[in-house]
Protein backbone atom coordinates (compact mmCIF):
# COMPACT_ATOMS: atom_id res chain seq x y z
CA UNK A 1 0.00 0.00 0.00
CA UNK A 2 1.33 3.43 -0.98
CA UNK A 3 0.18 6.44 1.08
CA UNK A 4 1.58 9.96 0.82
CA UNK A 5 0.53 12.31 3.61
CA UNK A 6 2.86 15.21 2.77
CA UNK A 7 2.89 16.41 -0.84
CA UNK A 8 2.90 20.11 -1.75
CA UNK A 9 0.92 20.97 -4.86
CA UNK A 10 3.38 23.75 -5.63
CA UNK A 11 6.19 21.17 -5.61
CA UNK A 12 4.42 18.81 -8.02
CA UNK A 13 3.97 21.22 -10.95
CA UNK A 14 5.30 19.35 -13.97
CA UNK A 15 8.35 20.85 -15.63
CA UNK A 16 6.77 20.39 -19.09
CA UNK A 17 3.53 22.09 -18.03
CA UNK A 18 5.39 24.89 -16.29
CA UNK A 19 7.45 25.64 -19.39
CA UNK A 20 4.41 25.38 -21.69
CA UNK A 21 2.60 28.03 -19.62
CA UNK A 22 5.76 30.12 -19.32
CA UNK A 23 6.05 30.28 -23.11
CA UNK A 24 2.35 31.08 -23.42
CA UNK A 25 2.63 34.14 -21.18
CA UNK A 26 6.23 35.26 -21.71
CA UNK A 27 7.24 34.23 -18.18
CA UNK A 28 10.99 34.57 -17.37
CA UNK A 29 11.34 30.77 -17.22
CA UNK A 30 10.67 30.72 -20.96
CA UNK A 31 13.99 32.44 -21.69
CA UNK A 32 16.10 30.90 -18.92
CA UNK A 33 19.28 29.23 -20.14
CA UNK A 34 18.58 26.10 -18.07
CA UNK A 35 15.03 26.29 -16.73
CA UNK A 36 15.11 22.77 -15.37
CA UNK A 37 18.02 23.74 -13.13
CA UNK A 38 15.79 26.44 -11.64
CA UNK A 39 13.02 23.91 -10.96
CA UNK A 40 14.75 20.68 -9.94
CA UNK A 41 17.31 19.88 -7.24
CA UNK A 42 20.27 17.95 -8.58
CA UNK A 43 21.79 17.17 -5.20
CA UNK A 44 22.18 18.68 -1.72
CA UNK A 45 21.62 22.44 -1.80
CA UNK A 46 23.09 23.38 1.58
CA UNK A 47 19.88 24.51 3.25
CA UNK A 48 16.13 24.87 3.12
CA UNK A 49 15.98 28.26 1.40
CA UNK A 50 17.78 27.21 -1.84
CA UNK A 51 15.42 24.23 -2.04
CA UNK A 52 12.36 26.41 -1.53
CA UNK A 53 13.62 28.70 -4.28
CA UNK A 54 13.22 25.80 -6.71
CA UNK A 55 9.76 24.97 -5.36
CA UNK A 56 8.77 28.63 -5.64
CA UNK A 57 10.09 29.15 -9.18
CA UNK A 58 7.13 27.48 -10.89
CA UNK A 59 3.82 28.75 -9.42
CA UNK A 60 3.97 32.24 -10.94
CA UNK A 61 3.80 30.62 -14.39
CA UNK A 62 0.33 29.30 -13.49
CA UNK A 63 -1.34 32.66 -13.91
CA UNK A 64 -4.93 31.60 -14.60
CA UNK A 65 -7.47 29.68 -12.54
CA UNK A 66 -7.71 27.03 -15.26
CA UNK A 67 -3.96 26.50 -14.81
CA UNK A 68 -4.57 25.49 -11.18
CA UNK A 69 -7.38 23.15 -12.19
CA UNK A 70 -4.85 21.54 -14.52
CA UNK A 71 -2.08 21.54 -11.90
CA UNK A 72 -4.26 19.71 -9.38
CA UNK A 73 -5.49 17.26 -12.01
CA UNK A 74 -1.93 16.43 -13.08
CA UNK A 75 -0.84 16.07 -9.46
CA UNK A 76 -3.51 13.43 -8.88
CA UNK A 77 -2.83 11.71 -12.19
CA UNK A 78 0.90 11.47 -11.42
CA UNK A 79 0.21 9.98 -7.99
CA UNK A 80 -2.25 7.47 -9.41
CA UNK A 81 0.25 6.57 -12.12
CA UNK A 82 2.78 5.81 -9.40
CA UNK A 83 0.32 3.34 -7.86
CA UNK A 84 -0.71 5.34 -4.80
CA UNK A 85 -3.74 4.20 -2.83
CA UNK A 86 -4.14 7.44 -0.87
CA UNK A 87 -2.83 10.99 -1.28
CA UNK A 88 -3.10 14.17 0.74
CA UNK A 89 -2.26 17.32 -1.24
CA UNK A 90 -1.41 20.48 0.67
CA UNK A 91 -1.24 23.96 -0.76
CA UNK A 92 -1.28 27.60 0.29
CA UNK A 93 -3.95 29.72 -1.41
CA UNK A 94 -2.16 32.82 -0.08
CA UNK A 95 1.22 31.89 -1.52
CA UNK A 96 -0.47 31.30 -4.87
CA UNK A 97 -2.20 34.65 -4.48
CA UNK A 98 1.14 36.34 -3.85
CA UNK A 99 2.62 34.74 -6.97
CA UNK A 100 -0.32 35.23 -9.33
CA UNK A 101 -2.77 37.77 -7.91
CA UNK A 102 -5.56 35.16 -8.03
CA UNK A 103 -8.06 35.34 -5.16
CA UNK A 104 -7.40 32.69 -2.48
CA UNK A 105 -11.03 31.54 -2.50
CA UNK A 106 -10.94 31.09 -6.28
CA UNK A 107 -7.66 29.18 -6.02
CA UNK A 108 -9.22 26.78 -3.51
CA UNK A 109 -12.17 26.18 -5.82
CA UNK A 110 -9.90 25.59 -8.82
CA UNK A 111 -7.63 23.14 -6.97
CA UNK A 112 -10.59 21.27 -5.53
CA UNK A 113 -12.25 21.02 -8.95
CA UNK A 114 -9.11 19.63 -10.59
CA UNK A 115 -8.06 17.27 -7.80
CA UNK A 116 -11.44 15.79 -7.00
CA UNK A 117 -12.46 15.35 -10.64
CA UNK A 118 -9.20 13.52 -11.34
CA UNK A 119 -9.58 11.42 -8.21
CA UNK A 120 -13.01 10.21 -9.34
CA UNK A 121 -11.33 8.66 -12.37
CA UNK A 122 -9.04 6.56 -10.17
CA UNK A 123 -9.45 4.17 -7.23
CA UNK A 124 -7.16 6.47 -5.20
CA UNK A 125 -8.57 8.45 -2.27
CA UNK A 126 -7.52 12.13 -2.16
CA UNK A 127 -7.67 14.66 0.69
CA UNK A 128 -6.80 18.37 0.62
CA UNK A 129 -4.93 20.30 3.33
CA UNK A 130 -4.87 24.09 3.47
CA UNK A 131 -1.61 25.75 4.49
CA UNK A 132 -1.49 28.84 6.69
CA UNK A 133 1.60 31.00 6.06
CA UNK A 134 3.41 31.95 9.28
CA UNK A 135 5.17 34.86 7.66
CA UNK A 136 1.96 36.84 7.18
CA UNK A 137 1.61 37.12 10.96
CA UNK A 138 -0.88 35.92 13.57
CA UNK A 139 -3.68 38.35 12.70
CA UNK A 140 -3.56 37.15 9.12
CA UNK A 141 -3.59 33.64 10.59
CA UNK A 142 -7.20 34.23 11.62
CA UNK A 143 -8.02 35.57 8.16
CA UNK A 144 -6.39 32.59 6.48
CA UNK A 145 -8.27 30.11 8.67
CA UNK A 146 -11.47 32.03 7.96
CA UNK A 147 -10.95 31.63 4.23
CA UNK A 148 -10.28 27.90 4.61
CA UNK A 149 -13.43 27.55 6.69
CA UNK A 150 -15.41 29.34 3.98
CA UNK A 151 -14.64 26.21 1.97
CA UNK A 152 -14.79 23.84 4.94
CA UNK A 153 -16.12 20.85 2.98
CA UNK A 154 -13.09 20.96 0.66
CA UNK A 155 -10.48 20.30 3.36
CA UNK A 156 -9.63 17.41 5.65
CA UNK A 157 -6.91 19.33 7.50
CA UNK A 158 -4.86 22.47 8.04
CA UNK A 159 -1.10 23.02 8.16
CA UNK A 160 1.26 25.86 9.00
CA UNK A 161 4.42 26.56 7.02
CA UNK A 162 6.94 29.33 6.53
CA UNK A 163 9.65 30.76 8.75
CA UNK A 164 9.66 28.02 11.37
CA UNK A 165 12.48 29.57 13.39
CA UNK A 166 11.27 33.17 13.27
CA UNK A 167 7.49 33.17 13.80
CA UNK A 168 6.37 31.39 17.02
CA UNK A 169 3.61 28.80 16.67
CA UNK A 170 2.07 30.02 19.93
CA UNK A 171 0.94 33.21 18.17
CA UNK A 172 -1.34 31.10 15.94
CA UNK A 173 -2.93 29.12 18.78
CA UNK A 174 -6.27 30.93 18.58
CA UNK A 175 -6.57 30.57 14.82
CA UNK A 176 -5.81 26.86 14.97
CA UNK A 177 -8.27 26.40 17.84
CA UNK A 178 -10.91 27.78 15.50
CA UNK A 179 -9.87 25.27 12.83
CA UNK A 180 -10.01 22.37 15.28
CA UNK A 181 -13.42 23.49 16.57
CA UNK A 182 -14.66 23.32 12.96
CA UNK A 183 -13.45 19.72 12.70
CA UNK A 184 -10.26 20.21 10.70
CA UNK A 185 -7.37 17.93 11.54
CA UNK A 186 -3.98 19.53 12.22
CA UNK A 187 -0.49 18.91 10.89
CA UNK A 188 2.36 21.43 11.19
CA UNK A 189 5.74 21.98 9.62
CA UNK A 190 8.23 21.75 12.49
CA UNK A 191 11.57 20.20 13.34
CA UNK A 192 13.01 20.73 9.87
CA UNK A 193 14.56 24.22 9.84
CA UNK A 194 14.38 24.53 13.65
CA UNK A 195 14.93 22.17 16.57
CA UNK A 196 12.80 20.21 19.03
CA UNK A 197 11.32 23.36 20.60
CA UNK A 198 9.50 23.98 17.32
CA UNK A 199 7.91 20.53 17.48
CA UNK A 200 6.89 21.01 21.11
CA UNK A 201 5.25 24.31 20.17
CA UNK A 202 3.32 22.75 17.29
CA UNK A 203 1.97 20.03 19.57
CA UNK A 204 1.23 22.20 22.59
CA UNK A 205 -0.07 25.36 20.95
CA UNK A 206 -1.54 24.20 17.65
CA UNK A 207 -2.80 20.76 18.64
CA UNK A 208 -0.80 19.07 15.89
CA UNK A 209 -1.67 15.41 15.39
CA UNK A 210 1.10 15.05 12.81
CA UNK A 211 4.36 16.86 12.20
CA UNK A 212 5.69 17.75 8.77
CA UNK A 213 9.30 16.51 8.80
CA UNK A 214 10.05 16.66 12.55
CA UNK A 215 13.37 14.88 12.13
CA UNK A 216 15.20 17.17 14.55
CA UNK A 217 13.06 15.64 17.30
CA UNK A 218 15.84 13.07 17.76
CA UNK A 219 17.77 15.67 19.78
CA UNK A 220 15.22 15.54 22.63
CA UNK A 221 14.53 12.13 24.23
CA UNK A 222 11.57 13.54 26.19
CA UNK A 223 10.01 14.73 22.95
CA UNK A 224 10.50 11.32 21.33
CA UNK A 225 8.74 9.72 24.29
CA UNK A 226 5.88 12.20 23.96
CA UNK A 227 5.49 11.63 20.23
CA UNK A 228 5.52 7.87 20.72
CA UNK A 229 3.07 7.93 23.63
CA UNK A 230 0.60 10.27 21.90
CA UNK A 231 1.01 8.57 18.51
CA UNK A 232 1.93 11.82 16.79
CA UNK A 233 3.12 10.82 13.33
CA UNK A 234 6.14 12.39 11.65
CA UNK A 235 5.80 12.93 7.90
CA UNK A 236 9.36 12.04 6.84
CA UNK A 237 10.73 12.83 3.38
CA UNK A 238 14.11 11.16 2.88
CA UNK A 239 15.29 12.69 -0.41
CA UNK A 240 13.88 16.13 0.33
CA UNK A 241 15.77 16.09 3.64
CA UNK A 242 18.98 15.40 1.73
CA UNK A 243 18.34 18.20 -0.73
CA UNK A 244 17.68 20.68 2.10
CA UNK A 245 20.73 19.32 3.99
CA UNK A 246 18.46 18.49 6.94
CA UNK A 247 20.21 15.10 6.77
CA UNK A 248 23.75 14.68 5.40
CA UNK A 249 23.03 11.39 3.63
CA UNK A 250 20.51 8.60 3.45
CA UNK A 251 22.66 6.45 5.72
CA UNK A 252 22.85 9.21 8.33
CA UNK A 253 19.17 10.12 8.19
CA UNK A 254 17.60 9.92 11.70
CA UNK A 255 14.58 7.91 10.55
CA UNK A 256 15.89 4.68 12.13
CA UNK A 257 16.36 6.40 15.48
CA UNK A 258 12.82 7.73 15.28
CA UNK A 259 11.48 4.24 14.65
CA UNK A 260 13.64 2.78 17.43
CA UNK A 261 12.10 5.28 19.85
CA UNK A 262 8.62 4.10 18.90
CA UNK A 263 7.66 7.28 17.03
CA UNK A 264 5.10 6.74 14.25
CA UNK A 265 6.58 7.57 10.84
CA UNK A 266 4.99 8.04 7.42
CA UNK A 267 7.26 8.05 4.37
CA UNK A 268 6.36 11.01 2.15
CA UNK A 269 7.61 12.86 -0.94
CA UNK A 270 7.27 16.55 0.07
CA UNK A 271 7.93 18.00 -3.43
CA UNK A 272 8.18 15.25 -6.06
CA UNK A 273 9.00 17.52 -9.01
CA UNK A 274 11.55 19.55 -7.09
CA UNK A 275 13.30 16.42 -5.82
CA UNK A 276 12.69 14.43 -9.05
CA UNK A 277 11.26 11.47 -7.14
CA UNK A 278 8.21 9.25 -6.80
CA UNK A 279 6.88 7.67 -3.62
CA UNK A 280 7.43 4.18 -5.02
CA UNK A 281 11.04 5.18 -5.70
CA UNK A 282 11.46 6.38 -2.13
CA UNK A 283 10.36 2.97 -0.89
CA UNK A 284 12.42 1.06 -3.44
CA UNK A 285 15.67 3.07 -3.43
CA UNK A 286 15.92 5.77 -0.76
CA UNK A 287 14.51 3.70 2.10
CA UNK A 288 17.02 0.81 1.77
CA UNK A 289 19.87 3.35 1.57
CA UNK A 290 18.56 4.80 4.83
CA UNK A 291 18.81 1.35 6.40
CA UNK A 292 15.08 0.64 6.52
CA UNK A 293 14.15 -3.03 6.42
CA UNK A 294 11.04 -4.70 5.02
CA UNK A 295 9.47 -4.90 8.53
CA UNK A 296 10.28 -1.19 9.00
CA UNK A 297 8.47 -0.35 5.79
CA UNK A 298 5.48 -2.48 6.75
CA UNK A 299 5.28 -0.54 10.01
CA UNK A 300 5.61 2.77 8.17
CA UNK A 301 2.76 1.85 5.83
CA UNK A 302 0.59 0.96 8.81
CA UNK A 303 1.49 4.19 10.63
CA UNK A 304 0.66 6.22 7.51
CA UNK A 305 -2.75 4.63 7.12
CA UNK A 306 -3.56 5.18 10.81
CA UNK A 307 -2.56 8.85 10.53
CA UNK A 308 -4.48 9.63 7.32
CA UNK A 309 -6.96 12.46 7.73
CA UNK A 310 -9.44 11.40 5.02
CA UNK A 311 -9.25 7.61 4.96
CA UNK A 312 -12.70 6.12 4.28
CA UNK A 313 -14.56 4.97 7.37
CA UNK A 314 -14.51 1.21 7.78
Question: b/e per residue, 103-121, with b = 16+ CB within 10 A?
Answer: ebeebbbbbbbbbeebbee
Q: How far apart are CA 49 and CA 263, in angstroms?
A: 27
Q: DSSP readout, 70-91?
A: HHHHHHHHHHHHTT-SEEEEEE
Q: Is 216 helix (H, G, I), strand (E, B) or coil?
A: helix
Q: Tell me if 226 sits within 8 A of 197, measured CB to CB.
A: no
Query: What whole-number distance in Å separates Cα of residue 107 and Cα of residue 123?
Result: 25
CB 76 within 8 A of CB 4: no
> How far is 43 from 270, CA to CA, in rounded Å?
15
Q: Find the catalytic residue in 10, 99, 164, 192.
A: 192
CA 201 to chain centroid? 19
Query: Is 192 labeled as catalytic in the residue annotation?
Result: yes
CA distance 238 to 291: 11
Torsion region of 80: left, alpha or beta (phi above 0 gives left; psi -120 to 50 gives alpha): alpha
Catalytic residue numbers, as ranges: 192
Amino acid sequence: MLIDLHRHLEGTLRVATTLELAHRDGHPLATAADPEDLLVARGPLGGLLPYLAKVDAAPSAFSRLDDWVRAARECVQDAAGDGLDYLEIRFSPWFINQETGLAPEAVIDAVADGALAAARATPMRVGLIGIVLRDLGPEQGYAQIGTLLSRRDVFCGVDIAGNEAGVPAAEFAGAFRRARDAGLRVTAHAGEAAGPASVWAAVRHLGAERIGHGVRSVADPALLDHLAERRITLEVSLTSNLHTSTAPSYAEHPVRRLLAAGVPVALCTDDPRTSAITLSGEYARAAPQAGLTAPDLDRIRSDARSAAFAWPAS
